C-alpha cells in the first residue's frame, strides 16, 4: 500500500459551473511507501493517552489502546462535549486521494498524535503519526476509491474521534433525503460572513458546528453551537480572502460542505442592489424598459437558466446575471461583456426554492424576477394560473403568432409584456404593453421563417412571468 505524504495542491470537484476546492494544507513532506499495519490487535484497558514517542510505525496494539476508552463522535462526545469541532476529523476524497484535517492546535502539551483510516470491516488501511511540532493536524493518503472509509483522529488529551467522508450535494452518503436541511450557505456583507444551515436546533438533533474555509482550503473560522443557538454564525473575514466556502456539522448527519462564494462577486451584487432593485411592478424611472430588462428565468431539474432580451453593445449591455435565494444567499454569478450572449445557467440545491434571478444593466440598474410561474410551479399564485397562463395561436399561413391572456388590463394591474421563445429558449420576439394602447391582453407577432416550436410568455406587473404551452409552426 502506498501512503503518500506529498505537498498538497488544490484539487477540485465540480458543482455546476462553480468549483469546490478540496480543503488542502501545505507543509507535508515527500511521498513515502510502507506497509499498512495488520488488523490483529485486541483492545486493552490502559488509558487512551498517547505515549511520548515521536516517529515509528503506529501499531494495531497502540490503536487498540487509544480506542479502548471509546471512540467519540458528535452525538457521543463522552466528557468532551464542548470540544467536538476541534477534534472531528474532516475527511475529503477525490478519486484515490484522501485528505484528513483536524482543526486542532498543535503544540507540545496538546496535539493530534495520529490520524488513521479504517475500511468497512474495521481494518486499518492507512495511518500517520503526528506530533506537537507539526504545523497542522493533517494527513493525506492514497486509497482505492471503492473502499469506504472512516477517519480517526487521536488527541493526546481528548481521546479518539471518528468521522465518515465529508458530505456534498453530489455525494451525500446515506443522507440523500437530507441534503437541503444540512447544506450550509454563506451571506457576505462587507468583511462579515454569516454561515448558516436551514436545520432545526433541538437537544437531540442540531447543528454542532459551522466552519469557513478560504480559496486555498485553509480554515479561517470555526464555531461550536449548542442546541439553544440558531444554526447561524457571523465570522469576520480575514484580509487576503477572495473566496469563502461554508461547512456545517450535524450531530447525527455528519459534516457538509456548501458552495463557495467569491467575495468580489458577492460585493458586486451588494453594490448593484444598494440603491434598490427594479421589478415589473417597481421599475423606477425605467417604466418603458421593463420587457428588455426583466430576467427571464426557467428551471429544469436543478438548473436555472436566465436570459435577458437586451442588447449587448459596447455602450449598453448587461454586466452581470446572478441568482439569489429568498434570504439573499448568492447561488451563482456570471459577469458579461459586450458581445456576449446575455444568458447564464446555475445549479441549485433546492429546486423548489423561491429563487430570484438578477440582471444588471450598465445604464438601467439592476432588475430582479422570480423563476417563471406555470400551472406546475405557480409559487404564491396557485389561484391565478388560469388568469395568467398565456395561450399561443399560430395563423393558418404560419406567418403570425397571437398571444392572449385572460387577464384584465387596467392601470393598477395588467400584462406588461409578452415574449416568444424558440426551442432553445432564446427570445425571438418581445412586446411591452400598456393599458391605454392595449385594452385587451393580446398581441400578434409576425413570425420569422422556420420558427420551429414556439413558446409564449406573459408578464403581469403584480404576479410575475408565466409560461404557456409550446406550439410548432
Q: Which of residues 72-131 bind Fe ion (CB under 5 A)?
A: none
Q: Which is nearer to Fe ion, 360 or 401 (CB)?
A: 360
Which of 129, 364, 373, 430 is close enough to bind Fe ion by CB under 5 A? Answer: 364
Q: CA 73 to CA 174: how far, in whole Å? A: 17
- Restricted to residues 154-173, the positions that interact with Fe ion (CB under 5 A) are 155, 157-158
Half-sphere exposure (Cβ direction) of 29: Cα atoms closer than 13 Å: 7
Cα gap 159→79, rounded to integer Å: 10
- Of the pair 36, 283, the CB lying nearest Fe ion is at 283
Helix (H) or strand (E) holding 85: helix 84-87
State yes or no: residue 366 binds Fe ion (CB under 5 A): no
> Do 68 and 160 touch, CB atoms closer than 8 A?
no
Beta strands in 48-148 (DSSP E): 71-72, 90-94, 97-102, 112-119, 124-129, 137-142
Considering beta carbons, is residue 58 or 290 the nearer one to Fe ion? 290
| Sole window of 211-219, 358-366, 369-377, 433-441 interacting with Fe ion (rule: CB under 5 A) | 358-366
CB of 240 to Fe ion, least distance (A): 28
Nearer to Fe ion, 145 or 288 (CB): 288
- CB 447 to Fe ion: min, Å: 26
Q: Which is nearer to Fe ion, 216 or 462 (CB)?
A: 462
The single residue listed with the C-alpha cell 482543526 is 103
Q: Minimum distance between the CB of residue 197 and Fe ion, rounded to whole angstroms?
A: 9
Side-chain half-sphere CA neighbours of 156 within 13 A: 19
Q: Which residue has the cell 424558440?
A: 422
- The stretch near Fe ion (CB under 5 A) out of 35-43, 115-123, 208-216, 454-462 is 454-462
Q: In angstroms, what is the minimal distance from the CB of 253 to Fe ion?
A: 4
Cα 264 to chain centroid distance, Å, stands at 17
Binding mask 227-266 for Fe ion (x = CB under 5 A): -----------------------x-xx-------------
Question: 338: part of which helix (H) or strand (E)?
Answer: none
361 interacts with Fe ion by CB under 5 A:
yes
> In whole angstroms, how close is the CB of 328 to Fe ion at the nearest point?
24
Question: Cβ closer to Fe ion: 266 or 321?
Answer: 321
Q: What is Dmax (Cα atoms) for the chain? A: 91
Q: How far apart are CA 109 and CA 459, in angstroms?
A: 66
Those residues with Cβ within 8 angstroms of residue 100's Cβ, 6 or more apart along the chain or in another chain: 89, 90, 91, 115, 117, 138, 139, 140, 141, 151, 153
**Is the Cβ of residue 111 or residue 333 nearer to Fe ion in the bound state?**
111
- Secondary structure letter of residue 61 according to DSSP: H
Residues found near Fe ion in the complex (CB under 5 A): 155, 157-158, 250, 252-253, 361, 363-364, 460, 462-463
Amino acid at each position: 500500500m502506498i501512503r503518500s505524504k506529498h505537498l498538497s495542491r488544490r484539487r477540485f470537484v465540480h458543482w455546476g459551473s462553480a468549483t469546490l476546492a478540496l480543503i488542502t494544507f501545505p507543509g507535508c513532506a515527500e511521498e513515502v511507501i510502507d506497509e499498512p499495519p495488520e488488523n490483529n490487535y485486541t483492545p486493552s484497558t490502559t488509558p487512551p493517552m498517547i505515549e511520548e514517542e515521536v516517529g515509528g510505525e503506529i501499531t494495531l496494539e497502540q490503536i487498540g489502546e487509544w480506542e479502548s476508552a471509546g471512540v467519540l463522535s458528535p452525538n457521543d462526545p463522552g466528557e468532551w462535549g464542548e470540544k467536538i469541532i476541534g477534534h472531528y476529523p474532516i475527511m475529503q476524497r477525490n478519486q484515490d486521494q484522501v485528505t484528513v484535517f483536524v482543526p486542532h492546535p498543535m503544540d507540545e502539551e496538546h496535539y493530534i498524535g495520529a490520524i488513521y483510516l479504517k475500511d468497512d470491516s474495521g481494518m486499518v488501511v492507512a495511518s500517520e503519526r503526528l506530533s506537537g511540532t507539526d504545523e497542522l493536524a493533517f494527513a493525506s493518503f492514497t486509497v482505492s476509491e471503492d473502499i469506504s472509509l472512516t477517519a480517526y483522529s487521536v488527541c493526546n488529551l481528548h481521546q479518539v474521534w471518528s468521522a465518515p467522508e465529508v458530505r456534498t450535494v453530489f455525494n451525500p452518503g446515506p443522507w440523500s433525503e437530507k441534503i437541503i436541511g444540512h447544506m450550509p450557505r454563506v451571506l457576505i456583507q462587507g468583511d462579515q460572513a454569516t454561515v448558516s444551515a436551514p436545520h432545526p436546533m433541538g437537544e437531540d438533533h442540531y447543528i454542532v458546528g459551522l466552519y469557513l474555509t478560504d480559496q486555498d482550503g485553509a480554515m479561517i473560522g470555526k464555531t461550536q453551537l449548542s442546541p439553544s443557538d440558531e444554526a447561524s454564525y457571523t465570522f469576520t473575514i480575514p484580509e487576503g480572502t477572495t473566496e469563502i466556502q461554508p461547512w456545517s456539522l450535524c450531530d447525527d448527519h455528519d459534516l457538509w460542505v456548501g458552495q463557495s462564494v467569491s467575495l468580489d462577486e458577492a460585493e458586486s451584487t451588494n453594490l448593484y442592489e444598494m440603491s434598490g432593485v427594479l421589478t415589473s411592478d417597481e421599475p423606477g424611472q425605467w417604466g418603458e424598459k421593463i420587457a428588455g430588462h426583466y430576467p427571464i428565468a426557467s428551471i429544469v431539474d436543478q438548473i436555472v437558466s436566465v436570459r435577458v432580451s437586451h442588447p449587448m453593445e459596447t455602450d449598453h449591455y448587461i454586466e452581470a446575471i446572478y441568482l439569489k435565494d429568498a434570504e439573499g444567499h448568492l447561488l451563482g454569478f456570471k459577469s458579461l461583456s459586450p458581445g456576449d450572449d446575455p444568458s447564464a445557467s446555475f445549479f441549485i440545491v433546492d429546486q423548489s426554492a423561491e429563487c430570484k434571478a438578477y440582471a444588471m444593466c450598465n445604464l438601467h440598474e439592476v432588475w430582479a424576477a422570480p423563476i417563471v410561474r406555470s400551472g406546475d410551479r405557480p409559487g404564491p399564485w396557485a389561484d391565478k394560473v388560469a388568469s395568467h397562463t398565456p395561450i399561443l395561436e399560430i395563423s393558418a399561413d404560419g406567418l403570425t403568432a397571437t398571444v392572449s391572456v385572460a387577464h384584465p388590463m387596467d392601470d393598477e394591474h395588467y400584462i406588461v409584456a409578452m415574449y416568444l421563445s424558440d426551442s432553445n429558449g432564446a427570445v425571438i420576439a418581445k412586446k411591452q404593453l400598456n393599458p391605454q394602447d392595449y385594452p385587451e391582453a393580446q398581441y400578434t407577432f409576425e413570425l420569422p421563417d422556420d420558427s420551429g416550436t414556439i413558446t409564449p410568455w406573459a408578464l403581469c406587473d403584480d404576479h410575475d412571468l408565466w409560461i404557456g404551452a409550446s406550439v410548432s409552426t
